[in-house]
Structure 1
């Protein structure tokens, strides 16, 4: 068929399947009907009215209008009520439960006979993003076709080609269809009344659309409100881990510079991670925070010092010596040095030990057992003399310790004499101690010197005076066991860093040896908290515990006239075997030799050092 134009080109506008708004022609009663249902995107080319072959030349406006009116009448006769649907109506916005669009789809299936495609959402009932995507079209019998497909190639079961009229599948009267279509038209066209009433159903706010779009982009994430930005920032800041040692250093630095506000801010951060029943870092933070607060309030509320001399503190200190391998092995190393010295002497069966702080006598329980194992049938005589301070009632406690040791020695066939004296340092002499000419004198200074004031506290310098007095006794060997910490003459900030490193390692080591649910461990850690507070918060005579590193002890011993007596390789190997044994085996504990002393530590940090001098 040729077109009506003079060129003679093929007529591609002819009826042959081009979808769109078709016109029923008298000479071709089987032209397929295409309804432009709302929501169905049609090919723009289908909007061009098909020409009849007998239309030649120009037409007047009146002829065109008459022809168009005639076509509509014919169409309405064939499809009653369809013209109402084809009227251009103003889009109306309905409230919808969907989070994407508030527009409510129109269900045509309830008011149109089954010949019409079942469309659940009209053009204005679809969300904006869904209109931009290829949408399937219900074709009946569960047949779906994409909306973007060429409509000329889609077969509609209810719209057969070459038929000018629809076939009714249900016996429904034409009047009933008209009534339903009129109701639908009234709903579609009644927008002005709704707008005048200010019905909130048709109102779509900007926030609703932003939330809807955001839910599409990130389906599982809630919309982000502006007010949540500040809270998210604070939560991120609070999630940053707080280092207890760094916070303690910052607080101490602020205190030393007199910046009290900055110090309180750092202490507040430190308190956030403090927990006296938590892990080792949390427990260290709790004790350090308490110590630094005491330092800040020292002018009004000075830290308590008398509690370091209390019975509970002394008992807890003895528990620490038993629980921590670093302390207990230090005592054992001192005992082995004493046994090696006495075994090389002619009068090895008779020796005298002078001790300035015997405590509960745990060190000498091990010494008595070692003597009983090595005597080989020979009689061994042991004399122990301890110094007591009568002002704090220590004499009775030491006498009780002597009774227990005497009973143990009797079972092991060892002759033991125990004596308690109350001499001052300057009163010490071989005669006042009752030393005999045929006995070997040894002096034990395990964990004693760090509690003696030195020249930085008083001109009397009791620490050096004690060493000089011991030298005058001419002992065969002097054993020294001390904590490895620079907390004597070091400035405040250095002491804080030292305390964090030392007590942090010690608390960590206790986790591997003692269960947390033991009541003894609670007492021991409270004792450590008092020690830490005294080292950090106190100055002058109030700072009772003044630990030094092994290098300084070596210098002090040299100034007092002593020279090192290196411990043998046998002692070092014995200590390593005890650390590596099944009972004490833990890779964290270390034993190493250093310039004549044996160092005991945890994960590379030396905690105690045992040495011998002559």
Structure 2
């Protein structure tokens, strides 16, 4: 049996109370009173947070177990791991953040009924799943961290929409509303796991421009501007690098059902004002075309400019072969290849949420959005209004991932390995971003502990608490292999020659 270590600054009274709780006693009220008294009278401001998390986590797990066992009519009993206490890792520096994230006994206990409901749904036992979800809805929120409570609420709503879409309409139409668009944009702008992905893409575009010093014109085709900050960063870097000749940044963006022309015009006006202060010439074009109409001429591409295509958080919302036979996702990549860009940047969420079975998809959503919600709580703790907007965007993403199928399921994230295979089949090869980009992003995250940045398999992985949440990568067209010399298929024709005996022979 694995032994645990008590935190050094935990009082003997707390230890006795928790030991009694682990041995089957029921001192819930005493433990709650003990925590309230401790929080009001303690003068030790340097006491770490994991002590409070330990008490509240144990309290929440047993309160949740008692309410679940009293409300169910089944003989099945949830088992609490014997090593349910959190280990003390205060001496391990930054690793304590990872242990704070991996509060697995409490998280598993709270999420286990949700996975049981997902299993029942996948086995076409809707009545069993509805009974589980009804019991969970009637229970008080589990005592624990704020992000775990939010995750439970979002997943409960998603599973209810899956079981009873008439009474609980799934989130489809709301994903195309103006409010949701702003919630989504706030998530991309404020969360380091997303906005640093845009920064990595900007560095790849700038490197491609520096590889062609004969021109100072940069043309970026963006299939949906998800972050205005990415182009603010580009304008700043171009203003620093221009020497003598004025740099020109041309941005061509495509308006669609997600990115409406009105919003894109507002973004263009703001970027124009910034470009004037940076002394960079900006050309901002908005086009509305079908995939079949995309070409260098229709997008205004010129021969003397560096062409880059930005696909940051775009491909995952385009249907693939699992949705329709037309496969718009691969069609877009073929059109992009036809533009002959110098670089293609790809930034996507690292989650297996497209073709995975339903039960696996629910588990992926719990793990992924649980980590993302916890990172937002840590970063935006003192900005509740911004955090609320970001959480609304996450709520729509999670609910659409779980509750919808077919064309109604817009959220179809993939892992980097699948994106890599798709890009290579489309005729692109990976252009490694390099360790220097990862080091630059690490320096930016110096004040945000808990986030991780690493260069892996040519991409830059951004994560929280040991889980990768976003991967940024750069691609270029696969060079054509040189043609082999042609070998004659038929032997050379023979001709008649006259020999010394005046006879014609083959030669």
TM-score for both structures, normalised by structure 2: 0.71
CA distance in 1, matches of 2:387, 2:127: 35
Q: In 2 relative to 1, CA 400–235 (structure 1 residues): closer, same or farther, beyond 3 Å?
A: closer
1:540-555 matched pairs, under 5 angstroms: 540-555=406-421
Shift of 1:536: 0.3
Q: Which residue of 2 aligns with 1:375?
A: 242
The partner residue of 2:377 within 511, 514, 528 is 511
Q: Which residue of 2 aligns with 1:466?
A: 332
1:37-116 matched pairs, under 5 angstroms: none
| Higher helix proportion | 2
Asked whether the 8 Å contact 1:592–1:600 carries over to 2, the reply is: yes
CA distance in 2, matches of 1:412, 1:348: 19
Correspondence 1:612 to 2:474: yes
Q: In 2 relative to 1, CA 437–393 (structure 1 residues): closer, same or farther, beyond 3 Å?
A: closer
The partner residue of 1:585 within 448, 468, 474 is 448
The partner residue of 1:568 within 434, 440, 450 is 434
The partner residue of 2:456 within 594, 597, 610 is 594
Correspondence 1:303 to 2:170: yes
CA distance in 2, matches of 1:603, 1:315: 27
CA distance in 2, matches of 1:516, 1:296: 37
Shift of 1:281: 1.1
Shift of 1:407: 1.2
Asked whether the 8 Å contact 1:350–1:381 carries over to 2, the reply is: yes
1:397-546 matched pairs, under 5 angstroms: 397-515=263-381, 518-546=384-412
Structure with the larger RCO, 1 or 2 (CA within 8 Å, 6+ apart) = 2
Which of these two proteins has the greater Rg computed from alpha carbons?
1
Correspondence 1:280 to 2:147: yes
1:339-354 matched pairs, under 5 angstroms: 339-354=206-221
Q: In 2 relative to 1, CA 276–521 (structure 1 residues): closer, same or farther, beyond 3 Å?
A: farther
String of CA shifts for 1:247-284, please: whole Å, max 9, x gaps.
11111001111223431343245433547996111110
Q: In 2 relative to 1, CA 493–234 (structure 1 residues): closer, same or farther, beyond 3 Å?
A: closer
CA distance in 2, matches of 1:378, 1:585: 38
Q: Which residue of 2 aligns with 1:603?
A: 465
CA distance in 2, matches of 1:567, 1:501: 27
Shift of 1:381: 1.0
TM-score for both structures, normalised by structure 1: 0.59
Asked whether the 8 Å contact 1:483–1:608 carries over to 2, the reply is: yes
String of CA shifts for 1:111-157, please: whole Å, max 9, x gaps.
xxxxxxxxxxxxxxxxxxxxxxxxxxxxxxxxxxxxxxxxxxxxxxx
- Over the residues paired in the alignment, what is the CA RMSD in angstroms? 2.3
SS of residue paired to 1:512: helix
CA distance in 2, matches of 1:375, 1:248: 56
1:175-194 matched pairs, under 5 angstroms: none
The partner residue of 1:326 within 193, 196, 205 is 193
Asked whether the 8 Å contact 1:247–1:269 carries over to 2, the reply is: no
Asked whether the 8 Å contact 1:274–1:284 carries over to 2, the reply is: no
Shift of 1:396: 2.1
SS of residue paired to 1:611: strand
SS of residue paired to 2:423: helix
CA distance in 1, matches of 2:67, 2:166: 37
Asked whether the 8 Å contact 2:400–2:410 carries over to 1, the reply is: yes
Gaps of 5+ in 1: 1-232
Correspondence 1:559 to 2:421: no
CA distance in 2, matches of 1:234, 1:364: 53
Shift of 1:378: 3.4
Q: Which residue of 1 aligns with 2:123?
A: 257
CA distance in 2, matches of 1:516, 1:266: 35
Q: Which residue of 1 aligns with 2:205?
A: 338
Q: In 2 relative to 1, CA 392–280 (structure 1 residues): closer, same or farther, beyond 3 Å?
A: closer
SS of residue paired to 1:433: coil
Shift of 1:595: 1.0
CA distance in 1, matches of 2:315, 2:262: 23
Q: In 2 relative to 1, CA 408–235 (structure 1 residues): closer, same or farther, beyond 3 Å?
A: closer
Q: In 2 relative to 1, CA 235–280 (structure 1 residues): closer, same or farther, beyond 3 Å?
A: closer
Gaps of 5+ in 2: 1-64, 71-77, 81-105, 477-507
CA distance in 2, matches of 1:329, 1:500: 23
CA distance in 1, matches of 2:140, 2:192: 28
Shift of 1:348: 4.3
Asked whether the 8 Å contact 1:357–1:448 carries over to 2, the reply is: yes
CA distance in 2, matches of 1:299, 1:347: 61
Asked whether the 8 Å contact 2:455–2:461 carries over to 1, the reply is: yes
Shift of 1:346: 2.5
Asked whether the 8 Å contact 2:224–2:259 carries over to 1, the reply is: no
Shift of 1:507: 0.3
